[in-house]
Amino acid sequence: MNVRVFQTLLKRELGFYLTTLTGYVILSMVMFLIGLSLLTVILAYNGRAMDAPLTEAFYATPFFWFIVLLACPAITMRSFAHEKSTGTYEALMTTPVSNLQIVFSKFLASWIFYGLMWLPLWGFMVWLGQFFNDPEYLDAGIVGGTALGVMLLGGLFLAIGCLASVATKSQLIAAMLALTLEMVLFMLSFVIELLPDQSGWQATLFGHICLFDHMGDFVRGIINGSHLIFYFTGTGLFLFLTWRWVESRK
Amino acid sequence: MIEVEQLTKRYAGHTALRALSFSVKKGQIVGFLGPNGAGKSTTMRIMSTFMPPTSGRIQIAGYDVARKPMEVRKRIGYMPENNPLHLDMRVEEYLRFRAGLKGVSADRLRTRLGEVLELCDLTNVKRKIIGQMSKGYRQRVGVADAILHQPEVIILDEPTIGLDPHQVRLFRKLISSLATEHTVLLSTHILSEVELTCDRILILHDGKLLADDSKETIHRRLGSLTHVVAEIAAPWEGLSQSLEAMPSIADFKMEDLKHGFLKCHLTARDEIDIRPLLFEEIKHRGWTLRELTRQQPALEDLFVHLTHVRPNQKDV
């Protein structure tokens, strides 16, 4: 892989997020929702003792899934669809750059932007940390675990978004498609609760793909190997499918 | 430089190219001419490695486009149809980005960028945002991008579409200046454009090659379509008889103008210039001549002649 070419691509992709209005609209919306969720947490625990880590309290607000489910399609919708609709895709695809580099640079840029988008949360955590005496409720491990979970979940959703974006010329359709696929995954996370038999293979399967279980562990600072495998393989699978889609141009 | 052999491209439901074959030598400017839907863009897209052919093959600078796409991409500068650019970027920024993708080294780019900006007359606008520039400037940015890495072959798909006549003239100059170093292939459906810019003209219709000729041959072919208009004060019968008697006139039509003049539309046999002969005949008969002009047929006439498509239908 040619590093300089990859840097050029990555810089361009990130540049687009950071120099156009789209990027800032997403950033401000997410910042607003993060603020709202922390306000909810502060009001809920006002005058009461904490009974769970701060990150878990934040995760328990309805805003967490709202942010992830909505921001990811908004970030990735343009990555391929925009280039296809304006025709710059053809100009890109006829330069001596491999398809793998193109897919990976678009994914990585969206992931970095996604990471930036969450920065206010960590800022709030640090600020609130000053008021905590008990490390059980907020320490580096808990925040680190949460950050890892947020990034892994985002990686998976962004990979889904890349696939949705490569499949169409319309950014709107790409966003809707990504949201639908993410919602399917989100809904499948509820299945485990509905199963009458909690010991069968179905329970094991749905337990593995239950996003709530994963995040529930991450926000408590628990990093489980099987969760990591789930996110790595899932993200890899969707990126592979995206790459195959790019390759199959006829 | 470019070898196209038996190139065929089928889409679901229709065939865009049917066994197309031709070759282009180094340093030529070749014009690809044909109505919309003739297969010009398809051929160029296959050449640029954007799409694979259904069958047949193309070699550019000795590399097969299907087997060695990366090698081909390093050697071509391609401007796709409608000249897609990143409208949010500035001219210089865009060219730097494209140079990065094309593997132009930072050292090389330092001198090359200035050269290209100068050549395409973009130096004064290099800090402008592409989206805020006029079509003519954008087109030049597209060409600047195509020549940035000094490719051996430059492929331009409809480069002058949407330009005003002044911009087209500037553009033609730019293309001609490129021919010294590069082989240029450009497509258009404007006939006068290829006539002025290209050394060689390929006429494409319905996925097939109708003609492949040098500009001179095309002009000779056009010669056979030349006709002469004359306005002569003469009796209808007498003029008609003497025109019929002239062996170098293949065909003629006459119409009666007022004040005793007759307007004749004459088609010459072969490539003979019939004007002196006609003048001598009129002088000899003692008639009066008030107009004698040769009407150069446009390439359009030849095109219509070859494709049997009426000019007003060529865009359909």
User: What is the chain B residue with the closest CA to A13?
Assistant: B97
Among B79, B85, B101, beta carbon nearest to A95: B101
Q: Do residues B268 and B249 lie in contact, with contact meaning Cβ atoms separated by under 8 Å? A: yes
Mean pLDDT confidence for B121-145: 90
- For residue B47, pLDDT over 50 is answered with yes
Q: Out of 3.30.70.3100, 3.30.465.10, 3.40.50.300, 3.40.50.620, which CATH number does the structure's domain B226-296 have? A: 3.30.70.3100
Average pLDDT along chain A: 89
Above pLDDT 70, what percent of chain A? Answer: 98
* Mean pLDDT of the region B16-34: 88
Using the predicted structure, report yes or no on whether residue B315 has a pLDDT greater than 60.
no
* Mean pLDDT within B27-39: 84
- Per the model's pLDDT, the better-predicted residue between A204 and A9 turns out to be A9
Residue A236 domain boundaries: 3-247
Structure confidence by residue, pLDDT tens digits, A143-193: 889 999 999 999 999 999 999 999 999 999 999 999 999 999 999 988 888
Could A249 and B50 be called an inter-chain contact, meaning their C-beta atoms sit closer than 8 Å?
yes
Q: What is the pLDDT of residues B78-110, one digit of tens each?
A: 999 889 999 989 999 999 999 999 989 889 999
* Inter-residue contact A66 to A33 (CB < 8 Å): yes
Phi first, then psi, for residue B262 (nearest 5°) are -115, 135
Q: What confidence score (pLDDT) does residue A111 get? A: 96
- Residue A107 above 90 pLDDT? yes
Please report the ipTM that was assigned to this predicted complex: 0.86
Q: Output A249 or A24, whichever has higher pLDDT.
A: A24
Q: Give the class (CATH, top level) of B2-215.
A: alpha beta
- Is the pLDDT reported for residue B177 higher than 60? yes
Q: How many CB pairs under 8 A join A and B?
A: 65
* Interface with A, mutate which of B86, B94, B185 (most A CBs under 10 A): B86
Tell how many helices (H) and how many strands (E) occur in chain B: 11, 14
Residue A189: both structure tokens together:
């996370």
B149/B108 Cα distance (integer angstroms): 9
pLDDT tens sequence across B241-284: 888 888 888 888 888 888 888 898 888 777 777 888 889 888 98
Query: What is d(CA A126, CA A131) in angstroms, rounded to the nearest whole number?
Result: 10
User: Average pLDDT, stretch A128-136?
Assistant: 74
B312 secondary structure, DSSP code:
G
Q: What is the DSSP letter of B125?
A: G
Are A166 and A246 in contact, with CB atoms under 8 Å apart?
yes
Distance from C-alpha of B87 to C-alpha of A87, rounded to nearest angstrom:
12
Nearest chain B residue (CA) to A89: B84
Q: Say which residue, A112 or B121, is predicted with more confidence.
A: A112
Domain with CATH 3.30.70.3100 in chain B: 226-296
B82, B88, B97 member nearest A8 (Cβ) = B97
Number of domains in chain A: 1
pLDDT of res. A126: 82
B205 touches B306 (CB < 8 A): yes
Which tops the pLDDT comparison, A139 or B20? Answer: B20
∠ CA B204-B210-B215 to the nearest 5 degrees? 85
The Cα–Cα gap between B234 and B236 comes to 6
Measured CA to CA, the distance from residue B188 to residue B167 in angstroms comes to: 15
Average pLDDT over residues A128-145: 78
- Examine the pLDDT at B189 and tell me if it is beyond 80: no
Please give the DSSP secondary-structure letter assigned to residue B39: S
